[in-house]
Amino acid sequence: MKNRADQPARAITRRKLLKASAAGAALAAFPAPLIAQTKPFAGVTLHGASFQHRFFTLLQKYIPEFEEQTGMKVDLQLSAFPVYNQQANLELSSGGSAYDFVNVTFILAARWVAAGLLSNLDEFTGDPNLTPAEWNPKDFVEGAQVPYRDAKGGTYGYSWEGGAMVMGLSRMDLMEKKGLKIPKTFAELQQVCAEINGTDGASGIVAFRLHHWNLPPYIQGFGGNIFRNPPGDIMPALNKPETIEGIEFYAKLLKSAPKGVLTYTEDQARQSLLTGRSNIFIHSSAWVTPILLSEESKVKDTSRVVRMPAGPVHDHPASNSQGLGIPKNAKNKKAAWEFIKWALSPDISMRLVKEHGHSSVCRRSIITSDAYRKLNTVNGQDLGALYLEVLELPAKGENYMAYRTVKEFPIVGDVLNKAFEQVATGQLPAKDAMNAAQDQAIAALRRAGTQL
Amino acid sequence: MSEHSGRHATPGRLVAITITLLILLSPFLWLLQMSFKSNDQILQFPPPLIFTPTLENYISLWHSAFSASFVNSLLSASLSTALALLFGIPAAYALSRWAGRGKHGLSFAILVTRMAPPIAFTIPFFLFYRWIGLLDTITGLVLVYTSFNLPLVIWMMQPFFDTVPISLEEAALVDGARTRTVFTKIVLPMVTPGIAATAILCFLYAWNDFFFALILTRTNARTAPVAVVNFMNYEGWEWGKIAAGGSLVMAPVLIFSLAVRRYLVSGLTAGAVKG
């Protein structure tokens, strides 16, 4: 076979001439810059990861539209919550560039932001060429955005999901029969739970074993906290009198709960509430509302969703959010921003609400819209207003949810869980258990290398 | 019934065996019955013992990414077992027949790699794999499992080779057999129970591994144990699928163990009464 260089130059054929003319005509009709603008990310494969959540399951239905618009291909890896956190933590902290966008898990947000593992998104929102004005970053509920800010106010994530602690009541019929009103204070809550407990086979309240989520609002309600002054001062504050008071209160409250409640999973608590076997469940709105309104719910007509009662000192219902961010070492940052912008756009958020009834979005304009209100008004209660009010609270004055976003929380949370179980099961008086817990928490933090 | 079996089958003994079996099998049976229930039935209290079984959990598993993960597990466990045996058996034989001074030191050095906890190797493996592009690949998993199983194979197989009389090999050599023939036709058949027992242990290690698979895989090479965990969602645990996945994960090991049970008992107990 001859080399190409050895072959004689061929004459231009008629077919070649026609082909060249057609190509020229096409280029004239669609100039190159226009083609580039139509599919600005053609050929890019965007790698993203998160834990499995209904939001992403729904979003996946729309992703083909995004791929069509931009020309990029989205590879979204969804894993179980602990699996994702483990893998993302390892990838980001070891300087990996496998992901272009990631879920910034609430409990990891502070450490990822402080460690500089994420890109500052203000660079994207501040550039009108990259972010149109109507995207409006200020539309995101401020309370949900707090975890994704650094000390200087830079933004490292935008929230796609919010969880606001609310109180679900399943048996208003029983409450009314007994002449009981919806409790608004801790004292009233205690009284209502005790009076309902055992009536018509229902327990007063139900909870689940994640005490370090359920318990802090009670501790804070009495004026205590998990740490002295997080995120700056993370000395544990487990044996403060206010903390002990909160622990004692919650342990007493659970005496009106079903047997074995200390080991209940969220599913067991869910089942207990929706079958009317328990009257009250205080948990994230993303859980409580769907439970009461689900198809299997036997208490749709007798249920209410209201604010969690206020403590004698503070009214601090817990809240959290999950965000989307771009790793510092991501290979396709602009493409990733395009995805985040699209996924959290007012349009997609509204479609999720209207087409799927997905309510835990974080855009104020959506939550306050008529469409949202229409879908989320149940038994006369405007759940959107309630959700927004609670979600907003940590941004008003003290960020009381800061305890949950510091990297030391899991260690202290574990100690708190064990101590609470000792108190609730009567193994130790609260004071003794919490004094021991304080020492254990300090020792565990020091072992982990924390300077106190 | 033979005289032998009749001697043992007293009513008391039968009751004791039944109770023991129930205790031993109850976690498995519980898991199995859960896999045929809906999520609501699983969470009912008290749990219903009589219910209409459903195949829904298995069907949805079949249609989910779990089926690919199951194949990944089968591939990584089988290939790593085969590789570990392929390299480990000749190594063990060589070590058995070697009369040099450093024999015990070398044997111990080989085992040392098995003594360290896997977590000590995970991060180096992760960083290295990312660098050479083996992250989230079956090849990567196979190499890790092989490296961990190789010392096990050498250590388990060496005593089996020690029990094969050298005189047999010498006789074959005198008869004109080549070394390779002696090894494959005379020595290996005599250590078959050992190979079966070792293969089971290697397969079990790779099949049940969660930690390496968690760190070194993402979606393409995700194995069944990690896939089962993926049914623990943020919004709730899919108990039915977890149970169905757990039951399926147990199946290959059970089948494999049953297939080689004839060799397994003799393999695992070989040398137990030597003295």
Place of tokens 């090894």: B183
- Counted across chains A and B, CB pairs separated by less than 8 A come out at 59
Instruction: Give this prediction's pTM.
Output: 0.78
Q: Are A80 and B232 inside 8 Å of each other by CB? A: yes
**pLDDT (0 to 100) of residue A444:** 94
Provide the pLDDT for residue A296: 82
Task: Please tell me the distance from the alpha carbon of residue A261 to that of residue A277, in angstroms, as a whole number.
Answer: 13
Mark yes or no for CB contact B214/A87 under 8 Å.
yes
Note the pLDDT of residue A387: 94
Q: Give chain B's contact residues with A (Cβ, < 8 Å).
A: 39-40, 43-45, 123, 126-127, 130, 135, 214-215, 218-219, 226, 229-237, 239
Q: What is the mean pLDDT of residues B217-224?
A: 92
Alpha-carbon distance B234 to nearest alpha carbon in chain A (angstroms): 6
Question: Of how many residues is chain A composed?
Answer: 452
Chain B environment of A90 (Cβ under 8 Å): 123, 126, 215
Cα B185 to its chain centre, rounded Å, is 27
Q: What is the pLDDT along chain A (452 residues), one digit of tens a residue?
A: 334 333 444 444 555 555 555 555 544 444 444 444 567 899 999 999 999 999 999 999 999 999 999 999 999 999 988 889 989 999 999 998 999 999 999 888 988 998 999 999 999 999 999 999 999 999 999 999 999 999 899 999 999 999 999 999 999 999 999 999 999 999 999 999 999 999 999 999 999 988 988 999 999 999 999 999 988 899 999 999 999 999 999 999 999 999 999 999 888 898 899 999 999 999 988 788 877 778 888 998 899 999 999 999 999 999 999 999 999 999 999 999 999 999 999 999 999 999 998 889 999 999 999 999 998 887 788 899 999 999 999 999 888 998 988 878 888 999 999 999 999 999 999 999 999 999 999 999 999 888 88
Provide the pLDDT for residue A11. Answer: 46
d(CA B99, nearest CA chain A) in Å: 47
Suggest the residue from B43, B222, B235, B237 to mutate for an interface test with chain A (most A CBs closer than 10 A).
B235
Q: How far apart are CA B42 and CA B33, in angstroms?
A: 9
Confidence of residue B267 (pLDDT cuts 50, 70, 90): low
Instruction: Evaluate whether A329 touches A96 at the Cβ level (below 8 Å).
Output: yes
Residue B180, exposed/middle/buried by CB under 10 A (0-12, 13-18, 19+)? exposed
Which residues in chain B are contacts of A296 at CB distance < 8 A?
40
CA distances from B233 to A79, A151, B229, B236 (A): 8, 32, 9, 5
Chain A contact set for B235 (CB, 8 A): 53-54, 286-287
To the nearest whole Å, the CA of B236 is away from the closest chain A CA by 6
In percent, how much of chain B has pLDDT > 70? 92
Per-residue confidence (pLDDT) for residue B231, from 0 to 100 = 86
3-state SS of chain B is CCHHHHHHCCHHHHHHHHHHHHHHHHHHHHHHHHHCCCHHHHHCCCCCCCCCCCCHHHHHHHHCCHHHHHHHHHHHHHHHHHHHHHHHHHHHHHHHHCCCCCHHHHHHHHHHHHHCCCHHHHHHHHHHHHHHCCCCCHHHHHHHHHHHHHHHHHHHHHHHHHHCCHHHHHHHHHCCCCHHHHHHHHHHHHCHHHHHHHHHHHHHHHHHCCHHHHHHCCCCCCCHHHHHHCCEECCEECHHHHHHHHHHHHHHHHHHHHHCHHHHHHHHHCCCCCC
Structure tokens of B68? 């690919």
Radius of gyration of chain A (CA): 27
Report how far apart, in Å, the C-alpha atoms of B196 and of each of A240, B107, B258, B268 are: 61, 21, 11, 9
In the chain, the amino acid numbered A331 is: K
Distance CA A296, CA B41 (A): 12
Q: pLDDT class for B86, splitting at 50, 70, 90?
A: very high
The number of angstroms, rounded, from the C-alpha of A108 to the middle of its chain's C-alpha atoms is: 11
For position B104, what pLDDT does the model report?
81
In DSSP terms, A149 is beta-bridged to: A155
- Phi, then psi, of A329 in degrees rounded to 5: -100, 15
Q: Stretch B42-56: mean pLDDT, rounded?
A: 84
A340 three-class SS: helix
ipTM above 0.85 for this complex: no
Q: Which residues of chain A have a CB within 8 Å of the CB of B234? A: 51-53, 81
Q: What is the DSSP string of A100-146?
A: SEEEE-HHHHHHHHHTT-B--THHHHT-TTTS-GGG-GGGB-HHHHG
Instruction: Kindly determine whether residue A52 and residue B234, on different chains, have CB atoms separated by under 8 Å.
Output: yes
- B43/A268 touch (CB, cutoff 8 Å), yes or no: yes
pLDDT of B230 reads 85
With H, G, I as helix, E, B as strand and everything else as coil, classify residue A44: coil
* pLDDT at residue A309, rounded to an integer: 97
pLDDT of B151 > 80? The answer is yes
Residue of B nearest to A92 (CA): B127
